Each structure stands twice: as C-alpha cells, then as structure tokens.
Amino acid sequence: MPRASEIPSRPKVSTVDVVVVGSLNIDMTARVSRHPLPGETVQSTTALTTSAGGKGANQAVAAARLGARTALVGRVGADAHGDSLLEALRADGVDTARIGRDDEVATGTALISVAATGENSIIVSAAANARLSPDDIAGAGPLIAAARVVSLVLEVPVETVTAAARTAHAAGARLVLNLSPVTDLPAEVLALADPLIVNEHEAREILQRKGFPVPRDAVEHAVALLGVGARSVVVTFGESGAVVAESGRAEHIPGVPAEAVDTTGAGDAFAATMAWRLSQGDALAAAARWATRVGARSVQHPGAQPSYPTLDHVLSGSA
C-alpha cells in the first residue's frame, strides 16, 4: 500500500461546499454486553476493531459521501495511524491539503465501548488534535474563504475554533457549530453559529452552565438555547428526531425508525448532512429532515465512518 505522502490530494476547486475544522482520531472499539461500572471489568464480546474516526474527520467523510466538495483542516501525528487516516480521507475524496503532520506527538485516539443496546462510551486522547492552532487557521485562510459552509467541532483548542469562526465570518461563509463536547466558548463564536447543533444532553449542560432554567418540553430546549446567542439552533433527540429553532420559533422534525447497532458517529453524520444541505441552499428544517435520514441510516451499522451512506443509499432507502 502506498504511503499517504504518495497519494495525491483532491484537486483544488474555486468553491468548496463544506470545510470542516476539527479532529482526526483512530477509533479502537470493543463491543460489550453492557458498559462497566466504576472499578468493574467486563469482557469484550468481539475482537477489538480499529477504524478511522474523530469528529472532524467523521463530518468530512460523511459530507463527501453525500456528494459535497469537502475539505478538512486538522492535524495528525507523523505515524502509521496518521498515514491511514489520510489515506481513508483521500479515498473518499476529501481535500487533505491543510492537514498538518506533527513529529512530536501521536495521532489522536478514541477508546470506544459499544453496549448491546448500541449506545457507546468514549474516551478521547487528543494528542495531535491539541496542536491545531490559530496559525493553522491562518494558513488555511484561502480554503476557508472558498467555503460555502464552515463546520466546527470542539475536539480541538477553543482558541483555534475561535480563529476559525472569525475567519469564516470575515469570508462570508455560513458557520455550523457542533458544540460537542460542551466547552465554554466566547460569546462572539456562539453569536455566529447558524446553527448551533447539540444533542439533548449537551443542550441541558449548556443551559445549566449559562444559568438558564432547563425546560421539560423537548421543543423548548431549542428555543431556550437561542437565548445563549446563536442565530439558530438544532437539538437532536436520537430516535425521536430533532427540533430546529430560529427567530424565536421552533419545529419538531420527526425521527426515522431504525434499529440501532452502534450510535458511534451518528451525531457527526447529522451535523455533516446539515452542513451539506445548507451549502446547497436548503432551509434549516429541510436540512434537518435530510440529517435525520442520514443519522438513522448510520446507527444501523457498526463504527463511525464505516457506517456513513452515499447519496444513492439515502435516496434508495437501503440499509
């Protein structure tokens, strides 16, 4: 197999549908009958599997498979895991020209356990992802300026996310902010989010951190989050679908029935689909309807990136 350095990057284009700024990880996954309690050891029910992951890379691959012209800004180690992640991205047509290599730290790693219910538990070692800096964003300025939508995740430093948000705003790109994991961000970044995307647990944590009362009604979660300053909000509720909110109004988007095998990366598939459809001019609710379909399709298969469908799969309704 050729080394990553020997595989050509996707040719540059004048306009990019989606630029993702975020993390790249090697996912190491063990399936268990149930997640262990503190201090408890449980036996894996299958052999350990290794696959490409990281919220940034997941979003880039998910968008590219749906047909978006996609680029990723990130950082990996100068190691075999970094090589394999770059090879996987390029195989899906993702522009990797702005993914840096770091000689001093390893590629990021995620340790994942997946229970029989399909629910996961994840521990992330940031490694090279923690080295993604505002200087990297400055170097990627022309790429970000060519983007219709810039999607940000929080497995990289806050100052880097802030720099990316400012750069995207200055270039006139729409900013999609997947505030996962929940991190305290400058108010100016939240004010640029259009939309802010979180799941129901993250929504609750954000509201509590900001001192807002947490509503009981699912729809009101999204409306309440408009109070933190985002231009629009999408809150996901798993199989129950999502709620979109903008201009003080909210709409529930029904979920798509699916038998969950593994929920790893489903949120990334949802956010990537939102970014893709928004880059094509869809309204927020229409984009969310697409995203629920893709997210439901992804949970029916193991792994993150291995579970992401092509556009043909989505249109045909095939599992």
Helices (H), 175-234: 187-192, 200-209, 218-225
Residue-averaged pLDDT of the chain: 90
Q: Which pLDDT score, from 0 to 100, does residue 299 have?
A: 85
| Mean pLDDT in residue range 266-290 | 96
Q: Which residues have a Cβ under 8 Å from the Cβ of 178 and sit 6 or more positions away?
A: 55, 59, 151, 152, 153, 154, 197, 198, 267, 268, 271
Q: Which pLDDT score, from 0 to 100, does residue 318 have?
A: 62
Pairing of strands 25-31, 49-53: antiparallel
pLDDT tens-digit readout, 144-178: 999 999 999 999 999 999 999 999 999 999 999 99
| Mean pLDDT in residue range 122-142 | 95
Side chain identity, residue 66: L
More confident residue, 229 or 316: 229
Q: Which residues have a Cβ under 8 Å from the Cβ of 38 and sit 6 or more positions away?
A: none
pLDDT tens-digit readout, 85-97: 999 999 999 999 9
Q: Which pLDDT score, from 0 to 100, does residue 73 have?
A: 98
Pairing of strands 108-114, 120-125: antiparallel
Distance CA 59, CA 180 (A): 13
Please give the backbone phi and psi of residue 20, each rounded to the nearest 5 degrees, phi first. Answer: -100, 135
Q: Which pLDDT score, from 0 to 100, does residue 14 have?
A: 58
Binding-site residues from annotation? 25-27, 54-58, 155, 199, 236-241, 262, 264, 267-268, 298, 301, 303, 307
Q: Which pLDDT score, from 0 to 100, does residue 12 have?
A: 45
Q: Which pLDDT score, from 0 to 100, does residue 265 have?
A: 82
CATH number, span 4-24+54-107+129-316:
3.40.1190.20
- The pTM of the full predicted model, rounded to 2 decimals, is 0.88
Positions marked active-site? 268
Residue 284: helix, strand or coil by DSSP? helix
| Mean pLDDT in residue range 6-23 | 70
Distance CA 76, CA 177 (A): 22
Task: Please provide the distance, in angstroms rounded to a whole number, between the alpha carbons at the two ends of the chain.
Answer: 30
Torsion sign, CA atoms 18, 20, 26, 31: negative
pLDDT tens-digit readout, 109-120: 989 888 888 787
Q: Which pLDDT score, from 0 to 100, does residue 6 have?
A: 40
Binding-site residues from annotation for substrate? 25-27, 54-58, 155, 268
Enumerate the domain spans of the chain: 4-24+54-107+129-316
